[in-house]
Structure formats: C-alpha cells, structure tokens
Structure 1
Amino acid sequence: MPRHQGREFYVANSMAGMMPTEPAEVVAYPRKKAELMKSRFSCAALNWGPPSNQYKYLHPLPASTKTAAMAGNAIAFLLTALTMVPMVSEMFPHSQGSSTVVRVAAGLSLPRDADYARTGGNTPSIALFDESGERIGFKSGARHGKIGDGNFKDIVVEPINKGNNRAPAYLSVSSSGNDALCIAYIYITPPNKEFWGFFGDVPKECGAAWYHSNLPVQRQSGDPFKPRCFWIDSPEHDTGKTTSNFPQGAGIHLLDFAATQGRVQQYQDSRDTMCASAPRFSLYSSLTEMNCLPIFNPPLTYNDDGTDASLAALKTPGQVMCSPGPNDKPTAQQIRQLQQWTSGRVSAPTYGVKKRSVKSRQNDRVCFADHRVVVVSEHGDHTATELCKSTSAAGPDFVSTKEGLFCDMCTGELWPLCSQAVPTGCFDVDLKAMRASNGTVTGTGLHARDVITGRDIPEKEYKKVVHWK
C-alpha cells in the first residue's frame, strides 16, 4: 500500500483534473482519522502514482465511505484518445474477495464463421504486478473460451499469496490462442475496490494495430462513446510470427492512465511521454502471463496536476524484477515454479498455433480481403478517412455513411458512396460493390478505371455486410 511518511492517506472533497461545482480544497489526512467530508462533488479517485516529497498520491476512499463519495455515479476520468472521459461505477466488475477482477471487452466482432474476419477472439491471459515489480497473480486464458462478439469477459486473478490483496500497479494482457483479439477496453477492480481503466485508443495513439469498435461505453453524462480497439495475437508455430506482426501482448502502468487535465495536456504536447517509455506502456512480440514486466525503479514522482515531475525519468527501458522478462521464453524450471504457485492451473505456452489467412499488401497495410466482409457504420465518430489515413489500421473494408466515404483497407484509398450526384466511380452500399464509370458493378475478376480520377477501380465482392448503428 503506498504510504506518505509512513502513513496511509485518503483524499476527500475533490481531485485534480475534476471540476467541482464549487471551490473545494483537496485535503489529505491520516487513515486512522479519515472521515468523509461532505460536499456537492466528491468521488473515489483512481491512483496516480507513488508520493514524493509532496502529497501526490490520490488513494481511493475506504469501502465504507465509497458509496457516499460516488455522488452522481461518478468515479473518475479515464484517458481515451488524449481526452478525459468521466466514467460510471456500474461499468466496472464487482470485487471478489482477495482476487482482482479484470474485465476485457472485444470490439464488436464480425460473423463467427471461419471464412469471415472478426474482432472477437480467445480470452487473453492476465498478469498483475505491484509497484516494486513483484508478481501479485496471473491467469492463463488458455482453455477459457472466447470473448463473444461485442461482449466482455471477467477474468478473476487470484493472488499467489492468499494474504496479499495489494492493488496492481502494472498489468500485462496477452493472447492465449489462435484467434486474434481486438481489445476495446480493460477495467480492473482489485480487492480494495479501487477502479482502473484502459481504452484501446491509447495503443492506437501509440502506433498499435487498431480498428473501430461498435462497443458502446457509458460515461457519466451524454451519449456513450465507442473506443477503438487494438489487436493482439499469438505467433504461428512454423514462423514464430503473429498475424501481420500483431503484438502478442502489452504491458501497462495503470497509474499513468487515470486522466487529469495536466496529464492529458502533457500527453498531447509530448506523445513520447505516453508511448516511448517502456514501463509506462509497451507492446511485445512475445509475451504470456508467465513473463514479467519492466518497471520504473525508482518509482516515478508526479506534480500536483498529475504530470511527471521528471521527464528524464521516463527515458528508461525499465528494470525487470522477476523472470522471465518480456520476449524471453520461460525455462522448464520457471514453468514448474509457476505451476506450483497456481496449483498447476497455468499452461505451458505453445508459442505458436496455425493461423487463418489475413492479407498484408505490398504497402504493408493489413486487410481481411479473403474474408469478404465490409463494415457499414452510421456512427459519427467512425470515419473511413481515419482508417484509410492510418498506416497502423487493420481490419475489413469500411463505410462511413456520415462521411459518405468508403475505405479500401487493402490500398488505403477513399471512394465516395454512390448517389445521384456521384453515380459512377463509387461504392454502392446496396449492391455491396464498386460501380464503374459505365455504370456496371465490378466484382472479382473484373477490372475498370475511373475516368474522372484515372484510378483503378478495385475489385470488390462481399459475402457479408456488417451494419453498425
């Protein structure tokens, strides 16, 4: 448990980065004397990081006072796409004794048929570490099924030491099987009933393979938003590579993704402070629940607004406090030790399974052409332009009805949707095909050129249209 001069602290009445309805002072005082201060705005805070010489660690209120503190169902702000999103407590899993519950949600999947691409996949593996880099617990996703289309699964991680109910500071999530998973969000509820969250928008901003999702996330007020999702996958048995070089997993320093206005501004001004510090967030080509993560050693310190006290401290590969480290294959002895800790519940990693076909074109764009699926979205935040302009976007062809544009994910080209004003050289949503300059519909094996732009009209023939509203 983080401490300040040997004593545990709580925060009441307000928190940096949240806007109270009236001026309110942030008050820190020892746990033994903690009393909930009534105000028009108060909430349980997400952790921000270890304290330094000043009070900088905002710790959640005790469970006995949490209900009163969560007035208006607000719990905290989470970071998504370099903005702050006020969340509601009902979005998070319920605590389960001494275990930590991790909720992982897949972006809305495409059809389950093997012929079709999808953004659902195998239940991932989870590993949790404390601020000193020591293992809290881990759970293999192998033989635990799949996360259904647009759904989530709660993964219960039991502590290695039953008496250890520390909240995790670091989390790893990794692929456990042969179906790639596009993760929209991760919610964490430790035994002390803190709440943590992580959205797929962050990996997307850091260059991870991503796609839109149709998974609505309810915020404190206003319409739900739909986060992007990021891809993880297991390596192939024969090549040791994942589908289109998707990472096998990610390591996350949870404390650094509870949003404050200062932190959001820092990440906006300097993206590297979010993406280029390995202990803060990193993607790994080889990672399972058996691998340990690099940590900040010594721990980071933070300013009162949540920003980093020292940007130089971020420029580190981190220190791995247990073994094996990321991208290292565990030895037989390490596997036996981990199995003893979990009473044999952990499976030895296979490091490769046979993969389905996913195309990577000569321009390094990743598309699912063989699956012949197109996604048609009416959601205003889903743009075909964003997908086509992003070199890291990966997924099926995409139509934005709000934009009136079609994104050919294999080439990165945008085409207008057919209308009275644009009858040719366009994508016909009803016919699920491109329309050539002479008005004919192109399909597999048919070639045409747009007389207006001179571009080759792509051959498109779909078996399935997925409609997102």
Structure 2
Amino acid sequence: MAETIGLIADMFGIVSGFTDLLQASDSSSSSSSSTNPNTATFRIGVGANLDGHTGLGGDLPDARNFGVEGSFLGIVADPDSVRVHVRVIMLPACLQAFYTLFSANDDAICLAYAFMTMAGQEAGQSYGLDGTFGSYCGASWYLSEVVVPGTNYMPKCMWIDENCSQPATGFQVNWVDMSSQNMKANGTAAQNMCNTPSFKVYTDKDPKSITYWSNGDDPSSRTSTKRSLADKFSEILVISDHAEHRAEELCNSTTSAGPGFVNPEQKWFCDMTNKILHPVCGNTPTGDNSTLLTHSGSPTCFDVDSKQLRGAGVKKRSTPSNVQDWRKSL
C-alpha cells in the first residue's frame, strides 16, 4: 500500500489518498475478499461516474495473469461491465501474478486506474498505476472526474477497445516494477517505462502474449457489429470548471478521444469530432491559444446555454442528449 502511494507521489506529486481508493469496492464485492490471503484482487476505476448514462464506462477488460518468468497462470474473462468508479475483480488462485495483460472487450472503456492486491506470501501488498501512464505511452486518453481522496488530483483515463476504434486494445503491467522503491533503484521515470515489460500498450486485436524480463534482461515473449467511439460520444457533452480540465489540452493532443468538452470558467470549448477549439460565446478566452476560428468574418463560438456552436455559416447540430456536469459548484 505504501509503495503504491509512493509511486504516485513520485510521478505526479501526490502525497496521500490512494489508501481509500484501494479499500473502495462496489456492491458486487464480498467484504471478506480484501482480507482473504488466498485471494488476489484487481480494483479498476473508470473515468467518470455517469449514473448509468455511460460514456467513459464500458466492458471491463479481460485480465490474463503471468508469473515472474512469464508463465501463464490464468485468466479472468468477460468480467462484466462497469458504470461506477470502482469495480473489484477477484482472482481464483493464490499464485503470484507479477504481470497482468488487460485486453479490451466489446464496449470501449476509459480506465482511470488499476490496482492489484497480492495473495499468498505477499498478501495485502498492493501495486497500481493510473491512466496518465497510458497518455505518456501513446494510448488515447480523456479527462477524468475521479478525484484521489484527500487531494485535488484527477488522473487522466486511457482508452482500450477491442474493436480497434482506438489505437490501444490492451496493455500489460509488471506490478512489482510499479513500486516507488524499484523505480528509484532503477532510476526509471514513467515515460521511460513505455514499451517495456514494465508497461506496454498493445494495438493488435485481443492480445494474448506479454513481453517479460528474462534473466539476461532482454525482453522475451510468452503466449497465453459495433458502435465506433465517434458514434458513442456524438450525443454526450462534458462540462467542467476544474482548473486541470483544459479544453486546449484535449484539442491540442493527437491521442485524446472522447465527448465534446467545455470549461466555462476558462471560456473554451473543444469540438472533439474535429479537434477544433472554440471560445465560449460572450467571453474573452483565457489560456495560451487566443486565435478565433472565423466564418465569413464572424467568430465562431460555443453557447453554453443552448449547447450549440454559433456563427455565420455554422451548421446546426442536434443538441447533446447526455450532458455530464462535473462542475465543483454542483
């Protein structure tokens, strides 16, 4: 537990709060599962709690587990869907899973964090990472409303999708490498762990093999009609006034993916269908980008009340039917 908190502190400046996250579970979990030394568990968090109106939730990934030398231990397949912040997946054996390969299922999901609590000799020891890791390593990402308890930190979430509507179909993690102690000993920064056995994003359909550390330190390998994301998000709009939720960051990133987003406080709207940034109507935007897109000499702007783009030559769209309001004042 302490090592997990230490890792997040080293990477993102967070000094506390993940203890509560690791202890959280939904109603499908047994209260005794976290204390059973013969049961390992995953805790998976999605990017938003959408109360059943799913946008960032989706089908939980399959979890293939491997030993320290890449031996296949077992799989938790098709573990259901998730519509809440935290879902617990119990492993049916006490074998130590040093590596886990998460592979996406039918409905794309945006993962804000994943933690593992060990069984057996290391019972209770927890390791984890959050979705910001994926954004460093080439996975598509979006903003998240998950707040680390005791902090103001909101990690990004990373997309994985079986149908390849996003580049990433899965990712592997070496849990022990995710400890702050190992990272310090190796002098390893998060960005330098990309595409290594420590953390690797996969783009092939239904990945089943991992890359693992061998004794010689050379990576080795072991095996073990649907909506597009554009359709999925076409009727969703996210509104936030959090300072770390910046429309400019979404629009300026080549790997971001998700619903249209507006921050009325910062006075910017990101049209995620084409990655074009628009000011909020009637306001002077803040931030680095102050260039207004123009049509026939008139600035195009986003009307927060009508949830429509305004301006000469702008074609009216259908009003979003699912508005997710993440503002602090609500």
Is the structural similarity TM-score above 0.5? yes
In the other structure, the counterpart of 1:213 is 144
Q: How many Å apart are 1:45 and its aligned residue?
A: 4.6
TM-score, structure 1 length as denominator?
0.58
Residue 224 of structure 1, CA deviation? 3.5
- Hey, what does 2:195 align to over in structure 1? 276
Identity within the alignment, % = 25
Cα separation, 1, equivalents of 2:13 and 2:211:
27
Contact 2:43 2:116 in 1 (8 A): yes
Aligned match of 2:180 = 259
Helix, strand or coil at the partner of 2:6 = strand
Contact 2:169 2:204 survives alignment (8 Å): yes
Out of 174, 180, 183, the residue aligned to residue 108 of structure 2 is 180
- Aligned residue in 2 for 1:14: none
Report 1:264-413 matches (<5 A).
Answer: 266-267=188-189, 271=191, 273-277=192-196, 279-286=197-204, 291-298=208-215, 313=217, 316=218, 318-321=219-222, 323-324=223-224, 354-359=225-230, 371-413=234-276
1:465 aligns with 2:329: no
Please report how far the alpha carbon of residue 171 of structure 1 lies from its aligned counterpart in structure 2 after TM superposition.
1.2
**Contact conserved, 1:375 with 1:399, CA < 8 A, in 2?**
yes
SS at match of 1:295: strand
> 1: CA distance between counterparts of 2:117 and 2:228?
37
TM-aligned CA deviation for residue 266 of structure 1 = 4.4
Alignment of 1:419-434 (within 5 A): 419=282, 425-434=300-309
Q: Say if 1:135 and 1:399 are closer, same or farther in 2 by CA, change over 3 A.
A: same
Distance 1:287-1:426 versus aligned 2 partners, 3 A rule:
closer
CA drift at 1:464: 3.0
Question: 2:131 and 2:101 mapped to 1: Cα distance?
Answer: 14
Per the alignment, in what secondary structure is the counterpart of residue 255 of structure 2?
coil
Amino acid at match of 2:141: W
Structure 1 position 434, deviation (Å): 1.4
Contact 2:160 2:169 in 1 (8 A): yes
> Which of 86, 89, 95 is equivalent to 2:19?
89
Q: CA deviation at 1:210?
A: 0.7
CA distance in 2, matches of 1:297, 1:215: 36
Give CA deviations for 1:66-103 in whole Å, capped at 9, x if unaligned: xxxxxxxxx63233894243344232142433121001
Distance of aligned partners of 1:420 and 1:227 in 2 relative to their CA distance in 1, 3 Å threshold = closer
2:290 — aligned with what?
A: none
Larger radius of gyration: 1
Q: Measure, in 2, the Cα distance between the counterparts of 1:110 and 1:372.
A: 14
Name which structure has the greater RCO, CA cutoff 8 Å, separation 6+: 2
Partner of 2:86: 152
Shift of 1:420: 5.5
Q: SS at 2:5's partner residue? A: strand
Aligned to 1:435: 310
CA distance in 2, matches of 1:408, 1:225: 25
Within 1, Cα distance between the matches of 2:185 and 2:226? 40
Residue 250 of structure 1 is matched in structure 2 by: 171
CA gap of 1:254–1:415, structure 2 versus 1, over 3 A, is: same
Task: Tell me if structure 1 keeps the 8 A contact 2:140–2:257.
Answer: yes
Deviation per CA, 1:164-196: give whole Å up to 9, x if none.
543x321111123x2111111001111211011
Give the deviation of 1:458 after TM superposition.
8.0
**Superposition RMSD in Å:** 3.0
Alignment partner of 1:204 out of 119, 127, 135: 135
Distance 1:225 1:138 in 2: 32
Unpaired segments ≥5 residues, structure 1: 1-43, 47-74, 236-241, 300-312, 325-353, 360-366, 438-446, 449-456
Distance 1:212 1:110 in 2: 14
How far apart in 1 are the matches of 2:71 and 2:141?
A: 31
On the 8 A contact 2:61/2:103 being kept in 1, the answer is: yes
| Structure 2 partner of 1:189 | 117
Q: Aligned with 2:135: secondary structure?
A: helix
- Other-structure match for 2:100: 171
The runs of 5 or more residues in structure 2 that have no matched partner are 24-33, 286-297
Supply the distance in 2 between the matched residues of 1:252 and 1:111 (Cα, whole angstroms). Answer: 29
Contact 1:179 1:233 in 2 (8 A): yes
Matches for 1:109-128 after TM superposition, within 5 Å: 112=52, 118-128=55-65
CA deviation map 1:143-173 (0-9, x unaligned): x43101x4221000112xxxx543x321111
User: Which AA in structure 2 matches 1:76?
Assistant: I
Q: Distance in 2 between matches of 1:294 and 1:225?
A: 31
Structure 1 position 413, deviation (Å):
1.6
Counterpart amino acid of 1:214?
E
The one-letter code of the counterpart of 1:226 is M
Task: State the SS of the aligned residue for 2:133.
Answer: helix
For residues 321 and 235 of structure 2, the distance between their equivalents in structure 1, rounded to whole angstroms, comes to 6
